[in-house]
Amino acid sequence: MKELESFTIDSKCLFCDATLIGDTTKKYSSGDLIKCMNCGENNDYDSLIDIASTEGLEVVSKQVNEHFEKLVKDMFKD
């Protein structure tokens, strides 16, 4: 079975849509705020994770569907 393509999800600022660059020396966890370098607003970590996981699921399910369609086509090939 072919492995699913890898993908990345960037965390985007909830206010200005700039890519968030977190402090790499710090580990973020639930309840933390990540300050946007572009607009200076504080982004709620939990909201960012929510959005990232929703987008991630969409990407994964799309890839699984495409893979499955190909698999079915191959099965019914003469």
Stretch binding Zn ion (CB under 5 A), from 5-13, 27-35, 50-58, 59-67: 5-13
Count the residues of the shown chain that bind Zn ion, applying the rule CB under 5 A: 7
* Residue 48: Cβ-neighbour burial (10 angstroms; 0-12, 13-18, 19+): buried
User: Considering the rule CB under 5 A, would residue 36 count as an interface residue with Zn ion?
Assistant: yes
Contact 18, 39 (CB under 8 A): yes
Yes or no: say if 20 and 13 are a contact pair by the CB < 8 Å rule. yes
**Least distance (Å) from Zn ion to the CB of residue 36?**
3
Give residues in contact with Zn ion (CB under 5 A).
13, 15-16, 18, 36, 38-39
